[in-house]
């Protein structure tokens, strides 16, 4: 049996309560969280879950900055799809691997990625993530047969075609089905909800009827506020969504954004006025709950998937509020260690 103890302020339990003391790990699982006065200024946090990415467009970071969301991303001929078609497979795999390595170093323990390119696209994604401990979850696209290799199905949007068949195949394969909706306007929200998705991405423009449906169905929402700000489509009504359902957080296209959850949370707090604790819950506990994962929470019996911030770094030294420190102030450079025990 291997045993290890980390001391500091532990962001503990589903309520993300800062507890000063020791976190004990035995054989990759948390065996105890002991409250005690300790000398360490470390902040110990569950690893983040980036609940919506498109890491395929890591090949074209910062391209198309003046284009509309349709010109950038609408299949089949949006700029992203043209660039993906042109990309060499090796180049694509290495670009995705670099993004995954960055995410892992940035305290992210899992990402839910919408992977373009059908079965081949998912296979490239597997190669890119093979050597990492970050849990890279592939939501495949295209023919429903992609579900033979993908972890789930990620539909572009209800206006782009019929997804009934993919939805049914996902259901019988017992794999999650997710879809974008309400990004540019509200026109595709009802059709997306009719598919009974396991989660919906964006939801910038829900009308009262949609909010009622979201609450009745308890369908989780993944918000991507920085992506929405960059493409100029508006911002999601996060407080209203939080009152009704589980809400998680994603960084969306790597073409647009660095996949840093620190930046995503800070934007939500500073631009959208979201409470820092809600921001952290969206990035950890709630994102894990969407796919019923055991990570995202530090408590006894859970896998030891956590990162340690250096509370004595020149950036963080003197903080009196660990939740604000994690959500609004911390940066990747403040991370001392990322520990990703197997799930
Ligand atoms: Zn997306």
Give the distance (Å) from ligand 1 centre to CA of residue 312. Answer: 37
CATH architecture of 3-47+295-340: Roll (2.30)
Ligand 1 centroid to 183 CA: how many Å? 9
Distance CA 65, CA 301 (A): 45
Compute the average pLDDT of residues 105-122. Answer: 97
Of 58-62, 154-158, 217-221, 301-305, least confident by mean pLDDT is 58-62
pLDDT digits (tens, 9 = 90+) for 121-169: 999 999 999 999 999 999 999 999 999 999 999 999 999 999 999 999 9
Task: Give the separation between CA 247 and CA 307, rounded to whole angstroms.
Answer: 22
Please compute the mean of the pLDDT values over residues 14-38 and round it to a whole number: 98
Distance from the CA of 90 to the center of ligand 1, in angstroms?
23
Cα(122)–Cα(140) distance, rounded to whole angstroms?
Answer: 6
Q: Please tell me whether the peptide bond between 243 and the residue prior to it is cis, using omega within 30 degrees of 0.
A: no
54 Cα to the center of ligand 1, angstroms: 6
Between the CA of 253 and the centroid of ligand 1 the distance, in Å, is 6
Res 213: pLDDT: 98
How many angstroms separate the CA atoms of 162 and 10, rounded? Answer: 46
Dist. CA 61 → ligand 1 center (Å): 15
pLDDT at 1: 75
* Domain layout of the chain by residue ranges: 3-47+295-340, 48-290
Q: How far is the CA of 155 from the centre of ligand 1 (A)?
A: 9
pLDDT of residue 70: 87
Q: Ligand 1 centre and the CA of 180: distance in Å? A: 6
Topology given in CATH for the domain delimited by 48-290: TIM Barrel (3.20.20)
**For the CA atoms of 119, 121, 122, 126, what is the dihedral angle to 10 degrees?**
130
**Residue 110 CA to chain centroid, in angstroms?**
7
- Please give the distance, rounded to the nearest whole angstrom, from the Cα atom of residue 252 to the centre of ligand 1: 5
Distance 231 CA to ligand 1 centre (A): 12
Q: What's the rounded Cα separation, in Å, for the pair 266 and 90? A: 34
List pLDDT tens digits, range 279-288: 999 999 999 9
């Amino acid at each position: 049996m291997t045993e290890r103890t980390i001391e500091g302020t532990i962001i503990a339990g589903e309520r993300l309560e800062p507890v000063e003391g020791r976190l004990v790990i035995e054989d990759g699982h948390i065996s105890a969280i002991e409250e005690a006065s300790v000398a360490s200024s470390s902040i110990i946090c569950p690893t983040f879950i980036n609940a919506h990415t498109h890491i395929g467009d890591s090949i074209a970071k910062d391209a198309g900055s003046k284009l509309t969301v349709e010109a950038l991303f609408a299949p089949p001929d949006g700029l992203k799809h043209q660039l993906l078609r042109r990309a060499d497979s090796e180049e694509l795999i290495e670009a995705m691997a670099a993004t995954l390595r960055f995410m892992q170093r940035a305290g992210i323990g899992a990402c839910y990625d919408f992977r373009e390119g059908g079965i081949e696209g998912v296979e490239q994604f597997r190669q890119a993530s093979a050597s990492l401990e970050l849990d890279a979850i592939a939501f495949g696209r295209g023919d429903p047969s992609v579900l033979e290799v993908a972890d789930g199905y990620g539909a572009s949007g209800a206006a782009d075609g019929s997804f009934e068949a993919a939805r049914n195949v996902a259901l019988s394969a017992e794999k999650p089905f997710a879809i974008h909706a309400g990004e540019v306007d509200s026109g595709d929200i009802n059709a997306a909800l009719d598919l009974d998705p396991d989660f919906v991405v964006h939801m910038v423009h829900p009308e009262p009827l949609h909010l009622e449906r979201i609450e009745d169905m308890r369908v989780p929402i993944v918000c991507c506020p920085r992506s929405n700000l960059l493409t100029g489509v508006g911002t999601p009504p996060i407080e209203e969504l939080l009152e009704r359902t589980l809400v998680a957080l994603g960084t969306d296209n790597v073409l647009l954004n660095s996949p840093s959850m620190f930046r995503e949370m800070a934007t939500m707090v500073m631009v959208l006025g979201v409470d820092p604790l809600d921001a952290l819950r969206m990035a950890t506990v709630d994102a894990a709950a969407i796919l019923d994962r055991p990570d995202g929470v530090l408590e006894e019996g859970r896998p030891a998937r956590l990162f340690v911030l250096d509370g004595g770094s020149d950036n963080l030294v003197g903080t009196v509020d660990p939740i604000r420190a994690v959500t609004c102030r911390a940066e990747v450079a403040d991370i001392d260690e990322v520990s990703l025990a197997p799930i």
